[in-house]
Structure 1
Amino acid sequence: MTPSWNLVADLRDLWSYPFMVNAFRAGTIVAVLAGAMGWFMVLRRQSFAGHTLAVVGFPGAAGATLLGVAATFGYFAFCVAAALVIAALPFGAGGHGQESAVTGTVQAFALACGFLFVALYKGFLSGMNTMLFGSFLGVTTTQVVVLLVIAAAALAVLTLIGRPLLFASIDPDVAAARGVPVRALSVVFLVLLGCAAAEASQITGTLLVFALLVMPAATAQALTANPRWSLPLTIVIGLAATWLGLGVSYYTSGPLGFYVTTFAFGGYAITRLAGLARFAGLTARGAA
């Protein structure tokens, strides 16, 4: 199946199949939630925590399959549980080094559990590649509804805590002195990040969640430091990478996670190269 030069006809062809319609719906929901959470995650320098929460989705999905329940429940149960474990670290104890140590420990143990669940599963675990690298096949209407409800709830909470969370992310010491509940905001944000990682894992796979959690946010923040522009720009970049990835994956039968990651990385690489070129031009102009 190959695309034509008629974009409208190609879109009609894509959306003539219910599974592709569901894939675009799920991808859109995930891109919006991951973009919003990823923007704060990059700002707060918690990318490693986000990566760990994504990886934890693998043993969650494998464990759910072993128990004979929907993998979606495993994704959310393990990601949220891991977020609570990381959040349980005493605030300020050991700084970022201690947080990284706990996060890495959780990640290593989660991966070990995932491989144990796969080994205990006596049947043929056909969804192994899907868990790790994502797929647009088999996205059901029920899954879309679940993703929508959780994303709407998470975004509603993020909207409520957005302003104090931004303050606490930029300068936690001053925020705490002003009476902002920095510790509570950190815990709530990690739980929301766990929900975002669980959702994104079902589209990109657990190993490639950074495509939607990190790259769009890093690209947008490299373009502008103004939150009013960089936050919505993050979501736009995530949507573009997801939609392009779905379209190319459909016409090439290639892995969805690879294409989403490639488009997201391409945007980031172009942005950074353009920034370096602009800096070099300004330097040369100043030297002259």
Structure 2
Amino acid sequence: MILLASSLTDVGQVLSHVLSFQNFGELVVLVRNSLIAGALLGIVGGLIGPFVITRNLPFAVHGISELSFAGASIALLIGVNVVTGSLIGSVLAALIIGMLGNRARERNSIIAVLMPFGLGLGILALALYQGRSANKFGLLTGQIVSVDNPQLGWLLAISLVVIVTLLVVWRPLTFASIDPDVAAAAGIPVRTLSIVFMLALGLSVAVSVQIVGALLVLSLLVTPAAAALRLTVNPVVVPLLSMLFAVVSVVGGILLALGGGLPISPYVTTISFAIWLVCRLVGGRREKRGSRTRGRLLPPTGSTRQVSAVSSAPTKTEVAP
């Protein structure tokens, strides 16, 4: 009993530290820019996420984030704007993957080569950096108070570029993502669309790294879309649900992180995973219910044989005299 009481006390202390909301209203004012940035990133991630899954590119998101991390780390080392360094790394990775990775096997091989190179280069730059350790840690796991007015302007401009680009190429990109061979036969520039999409994905990763960190970008650009696709395949509803799930994950993660004073990433990933888990359970129940309904509509096996036997029996006119 004593050990149980001690364990419960320890758990209570941990929860009080992780979810402490003293002076919460004052802290919300301090992270207003981060909340706006989180909402923007949720919209961007929700729009681009379904295409990432349809085109089988979750692995590419992680590869781009590693080079984005390397660019941001080098920028931090030499004293340049971190957003600029992150953008250069992301766009470079997106161009390499988009131009060289025509097939899935080639693309995965290129990403597997880029990932350790980018991560190693970023770690080297952080090891040489002599500034605050919080800046190093924030590039990997995200920060909630790091978005100042200039960075918010950058994020807003890049987000608008990505959103407008996706809206312009939405219909042909959807066609090319579902069936690239038929789309190419129909005259759609599949290769050009692929490069355009990879550039939009690179920009999305670059801005996401500033909030959730390089290691956990998948929770923003992939998990919400995966959750939405468990509920529906409607081409209009999926991006709307994906955006909703992404915004709830990021904004909710920021608000919860204010209570514990911890990095934002554990909260964002936990909320995103919880949404995906609920959607998966709901989708699984719907699939079971649908299979049971189809089973009831089908005739029994015995009756099927009887119907076939009757239909194959000769009629009176077919019987020989």
Would you say same fold, with TM above 0.5?
Answer: yes
* Preserved contact between residue 14 and residue 247 of structure 1 (Cα < 8 Å): no
Corresponding residue for residue 61 of structure 1: 72
Q: Which residue of 2 aligns with 1:241?
A: 249
Q: Report the TM-score when normalising by structure 2.
A: 0.81
Counterpart code for 1:243: V
Match of 2:94 among 75, 83, 87: 83
Selected match of 1:279 from 282, 287, 290: 287
Equivalences for 1:130-279 in 2 at 5 Å?
A: 130-279=138-287
Residue equivalent to 1:121: 129
Q: 1:122 to 1:249 in 2, by over 3 A?
A: closer
3-state SS of 2:51 partner: helix
Question: 1:101/1:239 Cα in 2 relative to 1: closer, same or farther (>3 Å)?
Answer: same
CA distance in 1, matches of 2:98, 2:285: 40
Q: Distance in 1 between matches of 2:95 and 2:88?
A: 11
Cα 1:276/1:138, change in 2 over 3 Å: same
> Partners of 2:101 and 2:70 in 1: how far apart?
26
CA 1:253–1:125: 2 relative to 1, 3 Å: closer
Q: SS where residue 126 of structure 1 aligns? A: helix
CA 1:24/1:90 → structure 2, altered by over 3 Å: closer, same or farther? closer
State the distance in 2 between where 1:193 and 1:163 align: 17
CA 1:285/1:224 → structure 2, altered by over 3 Å: closer, same or farther? Answer: closer
2:169 partner SS: helix
Contact (CA 8 Å) 2:176, 2:184: kept in 1 or not? yes
Larger deviation, residues 275-284 vs 239-248: 275-284
Distance across 1 between alignment mates of 2:195 and 2:111 = 14
Separation (CA, whole Å) in 2 of partners of 1:2 and 1:202:
25
For residue 35 of structure 1, what is the aligned residue in structure 2? 46
C-alpha distance in 2 between matches for 1:190 and 1:282: 37
**Separation in 2 of the partners of 1:2 and 1:119?**
33
Contact 2:21 2:258 in 1 (8 A): no
CA distance in 2, matches of 1:88, 1:53: 14
Q: Contact between 1:31 and 1:200, CA under 8 Å: does it hold in 2?
A: no
Give the aligned length.
278
In structure 2, do the counterparts of structure 1 residues 206 and 181 end up closer, same or farther at CA, with 3 Å as the change threshold?
Answer: same
- Measure how far apart 1:126 and its partner are: 3.3
Whether the 8 Å CA contact 2:101–2:110 is kept in 1: the answer is no
Equivalent residue, structure 1, for 2:104: 96
Deviation at 1:287, TM superposition (A): 6.8
SS of 2:187's partner is: coil
Which residue of 25, 28, 33 maps to 2:36?
Answer: 25
- Give the distance between the partners of 2:239 and 2:291, measured in 1 at CA: 29
State how far apart, in whole Å, the 2-side matches of 1:246 and 1:131 are. Answer: 16
For residues 153-211 of structure 1, give each alpha carbon's deviation from its aligned partner in whole angstroms, at most 9, with x where no partner exists.
12111111111000000010010001000000000100100000011111110000011
Instruction: Check conservation: 2:231, 2:282, Cα contact below 8 A.
Output: no
What does residue 56 of structure 2 align with?
A: 45
Is the contact between residue 64 and residue 73 of structure 1 (CA under 8 Å) also seen in structure 2? yes
How much has 1:111 moved relative to structure 2?
A: 1.1
Query: What value does the CA root-mean-square deviation take over the aligned residues?
Result: 2.0
Aligned partner of 2:271: which letter?
Answer: F
Q: Distance in 1 between matches of 2:101 and 2:105?
A: 13
Which residue identity is paired with 2:36?
R
CA displacement 1:106-130 (0-9 Å, x = unmatched): 1121112112212333445431110
Please give the secondary structure, in 1, of the residue aligned with 2:233.
coil
* Higher Cα Rg, which structure: 2
The alignment's TM-score, normalised by the length of structure 1, stands at 0.90
Q: Report the CA distance between 1:138 and its aligned residue.
A: 2.3
